Structure 1
Amino acid sequence: MKCDKKNMLLYAVTDRAWTGKQSLYEQVEEALKGGITCLQLREKNLSDEEFLKEAIQIKALCNKYKVPFFINDNVEVAIKCGADGIHVGQDDMAAGRVRELVGDKMMIGVSAHSVKEAVEAVKNGADCLGVGAIFSTSTKKDASVLDLSVVSDICKAVSVPVVAIGGIKKDNISKLKGTGVDGVALVSAIFAADDIKAECEELRKLSEDMIK
């Protein structure tokens, strides 16, 4: 399935670390109202049963706003909830095997940290790439920071949309201008905000300026 680069502009990745005043569902809806263009549901600590129940609810919400819905890592949950996409890391199931399981109708996103990994992922069926870490990040403390020249080289080496991820926030999005990325994937910059909708509106404008 082809991935439209317009949908990669402002890619939100959930993290329930910042739930409290609002449920994850409410936070996601605020982000959708604020203009995110894609949502990835990331759950590392839920059972498959709980993850699937949540995925069905949030997929329906994304459908309402006409925004693509990705599942992080869990291929079985992605298939069962009818997700638009599945995203896997280098240490997860190989893209080729994921494609065998999900068929041609689901998008596959793959994390890449080098030109070699990026080219290999696309060869094995990736429809889009998440590239990073771009800046140091508290979400993945073991992630190595990539030089922006590597990001640019990856964008030149592949024909699929590339999303930058890792430590990206309002005050550094502009540093990605000219690298060739099609958008940014954000976790804490969205879900740790006091006003998620307003934050996403601002991030959307900054992302649009970044790709011009």
Structure 2
Amino acid sequence: MIRQKFTIPEREVIPFTKQLHLISTGQQSAETFTGILQTIHEYVDRVHIREKNWTAKEIVDVVQTLIDKGVPQEKIIINDRIDIAYIMQTIGVQLTHHSADIALVKGAFPSLQIGCSTHSVEQAILAEEKGANYLFYGHIFNTQSKPGIPPRGLEKLQEITSTVKVPVIAIGGITPENTGEVIKAGARGIAVLSGVLLAKNPIQATLAYRKSLEKAK
């Protein structure tokens, strides 16, 4: 049974210290996704549900299943669906270029942490000015999910991280081997999809990323 409360107190912001964000791939069933998360969530800082083809009910059901499996609401972020993030009391919502304006969301839902996907310095500055709590930036390296599109690279990442004050999470082609370079460029964390969720051994893959993050300076 879903427990809904519509008066949500302000949450303490969990410090960003080399965080590992895990994003759903859009290639797995709800059962597979939640099953993997049950085994690895303690090693992950944020879990993003980014499923464009799921209905609102399906997303709500997945969030509730994750909670029932022990995944804290303070780790769960919903992509775009502000309403679901609010009624399910997750820590926040990830906005994109087609989402509602950051400032409007921040003003109407002060309890939610607002993330924003950005692809340039100008977008990053604007998102910070509008009240975003953190930014996604990428893709940093070549990735199969964006064939033929040149990566933005470490130099551009460093330009972003040195321009804005809010934490920047790097995404796109991140591996345990290049994680150290990303953190050296100023990123406060990494976002991973298939590198964990489609790995033969998701636990082993998660621990490899976690180890690389801890070693990074």
Q: Over aligned residue pairs, what C-alpha RMSD do you find?
A: 2.2
Q: How many residues align?
A: 205
Q: Structure 2: how far apart are the matches of 1:70 and 1:173? A: 22
Look up the equivalent residue of 1:45 and give its one-letter code: N
Among 75, 80, 87, which residue is 1:73 paired with? 80
Among 16, 26, 30, which residue is 2:35 paired with? 26
**TM-aligned CA distance change 1:168 to 1:176, over 3 Å:** same
Q: Structure 2: how far apart are the matches of 1:10 and 1:17? A: 20
Q: Does residue 1:94 correspond to 2:101, yes or no?
A: yes
Q: Is the 8 A contact 2:183 2:189 kept in 1?
A: no
Q: Is the 8 A contact 1:3 1:107 kept in 2?
A: no
Q: Structure 2: how far apart are the matches of 1:144 and 1:95? A: 28
TM-score, scaled to structure 2: 0.85
Most deviating of 44-53 and 121-130: 44-53
Could you tell me which runs of 5 or more consecutive residues in structure 2 were left unpaired when the two chains were aligned. 1-10
Among 70, 76, 85, which residue is 2:92 paired with? 85
**TM-aligned CA distance change 1:141 to 1:70, over 3 Å:** farther
Q: Is the 8 A contact 2:95 2:102 kept in 1?
A: yes
Among 188, 204, 208, which residue is 2:210 paired with? 204
3-state SS in 2 of match to 1:108: strand
Q: Does residue 1:111 correspond to 2:117, yes or no?
A: yes
**TM-aligned CA distance change 1:199 to 1:154, over 3 Å:** same
> Which residue does 1:10 correspond to in 2?
20
Structure number with higher relative contact order (C-alpha < 8 Å, ≥ 6 residues apart):
1
Counting helix residues as a fraction of each chain, which structure ranks higher?
A: 1
3-state SS in 2 of match to 1:202: helix
3-state SS in 2 of match to 1:5: coil
1:127-169 deviation line (CA, Å, top 9, x unaligned): 0011101112233458652131221111111111110001112
**TM-aligned CA distance change 1:154 to 1:98, over 3 Å:** same
3-state SS in 2 of match to 1:151: helix
Q: In the TM superposition, what are the counterparts of 1:1-212 in structure 2 within 5 Å?
A: 2=13, 4-6=15-17, 9-19=19-29, 23-33=32-42, 35-60=43-68, 61-63=70-72, 68-101=75-108, 103-141=109-147, 145-210=151-216, 212=217
Report the Cα offset of residue 94 of structure 1.
1.9
Report the Cα offset of residue 18 of structure 1.
4.3
Look up the equivalent residue of 2:174 and give its one-letter code: I
Q: Is the 8 A contact 2:174 2:190 kept in 1?
A: yes
**% of aligned pairs identical?**
24
Look up the equivalent residue of 1:51 and give its one-letter code: I
1:83-113 deviation line (CA, Å, top 9, x unaligned): 1010011232221122133x22110000111
**TM-aligned CA distance change 1:56 to 1:169, over 3 Å:** same
Could you tell me which runs of 5 or more consecutive residues in structure 1 were left unpaired when the two chains were aligned. none
Report the Cα offset of residue 56 of structure 1.
2.3
Q: Is the 8 A contact 1:133 1:143 kept in 2?
A: no
TM-score, scaled to structure 1: 0.87
Look up the equivalent residue of 1:23 and give its one-letter code: T
**TM-aligned CA distance change 1:135 to 1:78, over 3 Å:** same
**TM-aligned CA distance change 1:142 to 1:50, over 3 Å:** farther
